């Protein structure tokens, strides 16, 4: 959006705007400059029309969503008065569904509002982009402080349910390759949501997937792996020991031969000497990387070293 970029460049040196560069909102002065009006005008619109509706920071400062401002600015070009422009901007759903709106719905435990926001996103974005750009950031914004807040737990369970439902309606696999995901996260971990999101995206890409907990007995993996015949193994979640992960990887390779192992979102500590490929934290990027590697011819991996046996000396 070049118009917004020009407006923001013009604000250089005019004082503080948004203290959260990662969020798509600006303070009153910046919002007014973007619309070409005075801050008093913005406040008068808020009183008279209730739009644009800013959030309030902890310090009481107004924060306006850039999407709302752009919708309003665009509406000015299409109409002849303020109330019509505001009506148009509102009808357009205040711009594309944003992470802030969804996070606000979670904070209010407002499930219908959350569903509506997601529906609006799906009208403009693909399922994959909705997951990556809206759902995951919205839950992440509520903080993952050991799942200490009810709002975060509500959001986490909401998204888990949504991802599970989306998996159920994903089209059947049309590719022969399978991917097994060992998830070392616990309920209410953000890693768990990212693992579910990755599995959903892989399923929608036509791959066969199987998600298992790392607490599984490695000796009972063979039947599952024979059914899936995975070409790739993804480790995710940070609650398992290196030892436990190693046993699972060994068991998988022993059962199925050359399986590529990937680390998603730091499941393995970075020792610098690992041969495990690391995937980007973004589910879409991770999915693309996995698919790209599937296209490479499978490298015959070295046969897993047989456990050392005690041999009797020939005395």
Residues near other proteins (CB under 8 A) are 35-38, 40-41, 44-45, 48, 76-85, 87
Find the DSSP H helices in 108-170: 111-124, 127-130, 136-140, 150-168
Helix 28-35 / helix 39-49 crossing angle, nearest 10 deg: 90
Q: How far apart are CA 279 and CA 130, in angstroms?
A: 20
The residue among 85 and 201 lying less far from other proteins, judged by its C-beta, is 85
Say if CB 29 and CB 38 are below 8 A apart.
no
Q: What are phi and psi of 236, to 5 degrees?
A: -145, 165
Least Å distance, CB 19 to other proteins, is 27
Are the CB atoms for 4 and 44 separated by under 8 Å?
no
Q: How far is the CB of 76 from other proteins (least distance, A)?
A: 5
Cα–Cα distance measured from residue 20 to residue 260, given in angstroms and rounded to the nearest whole number? 39
Give me the least distance between CB of 37 and other proteins, in Å please.
Answer: 5
Supply the minimum distance, in Å, between the C-beta of residue 90 and other proteins.
Answer: 13
d(CA 311, CA 93): 74
Q: How far is the CB of 144 from other proteins (least distance, A)?
A: 42
Of 169, 167, 195, the closest CA to residue 180 belongs to 195
For other proteins, the closer CB: 78 or 280 = 78
Nearer to other proteins, 33 or 290 (CB): 33
Q: Which is nearer to other proteins, 43 or 125 (CB)?
A: 43
Q: Would you say 81 or 145 has its CB closer to other proteins?
A: 81
| Maximum distance among all Cα pairs of the chain, rounded to whole angstroms | 104
How far, CA to CA in Å, does 44 sit from each of 18, 53, 82, 204? 21, 11, 12, 48
For residue 276, count CB atoms less than 10 angstroms from its CB and return exposed for 0-12, middle for 13-18, buried for 19 or more. middle
In the complex, minimum distance from the CB of residue 41 to other proteins, in angstroms, rounded to a whole number: 4
Q: What is the smallest separation between the CB atom of 35 and other proteins, expressed in angstroms?
A: 7
Q: Which is nearer to other proteins, 8 or 37 (CB)?
A: 37
Which H or E element spans position 233?
Answer: strand 230-236
Please say which residue, 44 or 115, places its beta carbon nearer to other proteins: 44
From the list 37, 90, 40, the residue with the least C-alpha distance to 65 is: 90
- Cβ 3 to other proteins, closest distance in Å? 12
Q: Quick one: 82 or 135, whose CB is closer to other proteins? A: 82
Distance of CA 193 to the CA centre of its chain: 8
């Amino acid at each position: 959006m070049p118009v917004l970029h020009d407006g923001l460049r013009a604000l250089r040196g005019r004082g503080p705007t948004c203290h959260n560069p990662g969020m798509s909102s600006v303070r009153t002065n910046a919002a007014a400059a973007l619309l070409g009006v005075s801050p008093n005008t913005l406040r008068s619109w808020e009183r008279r029309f209730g739009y644009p509706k800013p959030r309030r920071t902890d310090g009481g400062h107004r924060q306006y969503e850039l999407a709302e401002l752009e919708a309003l600015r665009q509406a000015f070009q299409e109409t002849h008065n303020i109330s019509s422009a505001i009506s148009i901007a509102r009808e357009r759903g205040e711009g594309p569904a944003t992470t802030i709106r969804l996070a606000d719905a979670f904070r209010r435990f407002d499930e219908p509002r959350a569903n509506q926001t997601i529906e609006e996103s799906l009208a403009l974005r693909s399922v994959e982009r909705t997951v990556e750009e809206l759902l995951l950031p919205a839950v992440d914004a509520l903080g993952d402080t050991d799942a200490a807040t009810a709002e975060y737990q509500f959001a986490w369970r909401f998204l888990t349910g949504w991802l599970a439902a989306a998996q159920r309606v994903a089209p059947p696999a049309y590719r022969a390759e399978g991917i097994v995901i060992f998830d070392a996260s616990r309920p209410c971990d953000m890693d768990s949501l990212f693992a579910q999101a990755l599995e959903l995206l892989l399923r929608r890409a036509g791959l066969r997937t199987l998600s298992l907990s790392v607490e599984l007995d490695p000796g009972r993996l063979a039947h599952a792996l024979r059914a899936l015949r995975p070409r790739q193994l993804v480790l995710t979640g940070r609650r398992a020991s290196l030892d436990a992960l190693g046993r699972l990887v060994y068991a998988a390779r022993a059962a199925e031969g050359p399986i590529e192992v990937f680390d998603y979102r730091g499941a393995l500590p970075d020792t610098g000497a690992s041969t495990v490929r690391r995937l980007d934290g973004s589910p879409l990027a991770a999915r693309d990387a996995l698919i790209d590697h599937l296209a490479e011819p499978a490298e015959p991996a070295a046969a897993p070293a047989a456990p050392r046996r005690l041999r009797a000396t020939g005395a």
